[in-house]
Amino acid sequence: MNKKWLAGAGFALALFVSPFNQAFAAESAGQKVDNVAHRGASGYAPENTIAAFDKAVEMKADYIEIDVQRSKDGKLVVIHDTTVDRTTDGSGLVQSLTYEELRNLDAGSWKGEEFTGEKIPAFDEILDRYHGKIGILIELKAPELYPGIEKSVAKELKKRNLDKPQNEKTIIQSFNFESMKIMNKLLPKMPIGVLTSSRLDTTEPALKEFSTYADYFNPSYTIVSKDLVNQVHKKGMKIQSWTVRSQETADFLLEMKVDGIITDYPDYVDPVK
């Protein structure tokens, strides 16, 4: 994959030019892990809201992870479930509600009275508010429900020049592998991730196939092992694991030497800053 070859070549050249950097890289190898705030700092604020994303920035996470879907009238919005029932005071499918209807819902009070009035954010709102402040891990949620959503997401990213190399500060991922193949073609310089909780996706042939279009292999922590981490790295990919909701799980993943930890509680992860 050209984007991987170029990134690797550039990294190798930098190390060759600077012996000091080479020594430093060797010393710090395996110590840095990206702290990814899952739906924002969702352990402390209502998931996928400005409150949760602001909290993640405050807690100095490296990334916020967001879920993107599409309203009835074509607006890209940030919400996890394909219905609004669990995280708002409304009901119904996201795809059956207009953007105005979605924005009129209370997406915060379920988490606590202090969050009453939090809104379902728009995708462009999140890009404009947080790009440059924190990395953004974008998950296309159930893209099979939204034909053409890949083009819509790519358009918003291109509009902001986020389709260019950004030191991997903007990443796109999904459980839908075909969708990620489309995103790789639309945005060939954008880091792509595949999500899975199935051990069937951890075989050598499966990992080899993923490596032809993905830069990240992002599994549930329940299937992570040192061998898997090594196999992913051998295929030229990085590995970010989810979802951490206890200190014990965070410590386990740190021991496994994953590249990133996706967590509801950013303070459970202690990355080298």
Phi, psi of 153 (to 5 degrees): -65, -45
Instruction: Print burial letters for 150-174: b (CB count within 10 Å at least 16), e (below 16).
Output: bebbbebbeeeebbeebebbbbbbb
Measure the CA–CA gap between 259 and 268, rounded to whole angstroms.
Answer: 15
Find out whether the peptide bond into 243 is cis, omega within 30 degrees of 0. Answer: yes
Query: In the annotation, is 233 catalytic?
Result: no
Query: In the annotation, is 131 catalytic?
Result: no
Query: Residues 97, 71: contact at Cβ < 8 Å?
Result: yes
* E-only strand ranges, 163-270: 170-174, 192-196, 216-219, 240-244, 260-263
Task: Determine which one of 34, 35, 36, 38 is catalytic.
Answer: 38
- The 3 state secondary structure assigned to 110-135 is CCCHHHCCCCCCEHHHHHHHHCCCCE
Task: Determine which one of 39, 55, 70, 80 is catalytic.
Answer: 80
DSSP 1: -
Task: Pick the closest to residue 184 from 220, 206, 141, 154 (CA basis).
Answer: 154
- The residues carrying an active-site annotation are 38, 80
